[in-house]
């Protein structure tokens, strides 16, 4: 079953996505596992190349990780207790009442949520936990952050898909018809040099769209501008992405 509304912004660059996207903190999975009644089966929808799936595999007996992009699945990090499947989130193929935890990381804004929530209710046990996870605009320590914010909001701002607004507001406006639970505030953190950061920017859909339309990669000029403030380009700076996490208990 295919989702006719599926917008594939990532298959063409899935190997770079696997290499240059930031990692989720272990504490995220620890906190999620604490509120799950059981740790037998976790489903990671829209898994991409498995950034969250591999962490879930440390706390759950089995992880089924699905993505609509076959290329993303092919580039996903393998682990013995992870089953990767090319499938849409709205049709997981899992058995009724079989799942203890369902996660959607940086992907809920692409889903047909009405259909997805029907699937969530179908595969959930009583009080299965659902978590919608997204990370917002990054901040880099020091004076370079001003240039990065200008790049995000001004240089490429008009090239973001309209769904990006949901990421920027932390999924606050997405419907969430479940009993919402409190969850600790968490951040993603990395220490990257200048080239690491530029490679990350090149995974952004807005950068690819800007290059497609103008014929020029906008990160080329950004790199030049950042070099004047960065200092030694091989030196690493702390980068923070604030996480927004909506967690609910699914009553079936």
pLDDT tens by residue, 130-145: 999 999 899 999 999 9
pLDDT tens-place string over residues 36-86: 999 999 999 999 999 999 999 999 999 999 999 999 999 999 999 999 999
**Is residue 164 assigned to a domain?**
yes
**Is residue 225 assigned to a domain?**
yes
**Is residue 148 assigned to a domain?**
yes
Mean pLDDT of 182-191: 96
**Residue 72, CA distances (Å) to 16, 17, 48 in order:** 10, 8, 5
Residue 65: CATH number of its domain = 3.40.50.150
Q: How confident is the model at residue 10 (pLDDT cuts 50, 70, 90)?
A: very low
Q: Nearest Cα to 247, choosing from 131, 159, 109, 151?
A: 131
pLDDT tens-place string over residues 209-244: 999 999 999 999 999 999 999 999 999 999 999 999
Helices (H), 99-177: 113-123, 144-150, 164-168
What pLDDT sits at residue 251? 84
**Is residue 4 assigned to a domain?**
no
CA-to-CA distance for 54 and 214, rounded, in angstroms? 37
pTM of the predicted model as reported, rounded to 2 decimal places:
0.90
- Spell out the residues 6+ positions from residue 21 whose beta carbon is closer than 8 angstroms to its own: 48, 49, 51, 200, 203
**Mean of the per-residue pLDDT values of the chain:** 93
CA-to-CA distance for 48 and 70, rounded, in angstroms? 9
**Is residue 3 assigned to a domain?**
no
**Is residue 188 assigned to a domain?**
yes
**Is residue 5 assigned to a domain?**
no
- The domain tally of the chain equals 1
Mean pLDDT of 182-196: 97
Beta bridge partners of 192: 237
**Is residue 2 assigned to a domain?**
no
Tokens of 122: 């179908």
Domain hosting 111: range is 11-250
């Amino acid at each position: 079953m295919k989702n006719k509304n599926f917008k594939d912004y990532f298959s063409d660059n899935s190997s770079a996505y696997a290499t240059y996207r930031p990692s989720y903190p272990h504490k995220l999975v620890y906190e999620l596992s604490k509120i799950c009644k059981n740790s037998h089966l976790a489903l990671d929808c829209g898994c991409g190349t498995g950034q969250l799936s591999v962490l879930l595999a440390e706390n759950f007996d089995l992880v089924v990780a699905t993505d609509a992009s076959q290329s993303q699945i092919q580039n996903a990090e393998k682990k013995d207790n992870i089953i990767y499947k090319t499938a849409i989130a709205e049709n997981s193929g899992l058995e009724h009442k079989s799942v203890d935890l369902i996660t959607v990381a940086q992907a809920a804004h692409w889903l047909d949520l009405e259909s997805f929530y029907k699937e969530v209710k179908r595969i959930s046990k009583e009080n299965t936990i659902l978590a919608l996870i997204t990370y917002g605009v990054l901040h880099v320590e020091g004076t370079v952050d001003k240039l990065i914010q200008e790049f995000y909001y001004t240089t490429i701002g008009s090239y973001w898909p309209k769904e990006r607004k949901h990421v920027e507001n932390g999924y606050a406006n997405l419907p969430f018809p479940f009993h919402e639970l409190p969850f600790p505030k968490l951040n993603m953190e990395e220490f990257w040099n200048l080239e690491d950061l530029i490679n990350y920017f090149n995974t952004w859909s807005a950068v690819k769209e800007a290059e497609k339309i103008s014929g020029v990669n906008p990160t080329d000029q950004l790199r030049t501008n950042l070099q004047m403030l960065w200092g030694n380009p091989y030196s690493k700076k702390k980068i923070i992405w604030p996480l927004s996490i909506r967690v609910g208990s699914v009553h079936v």
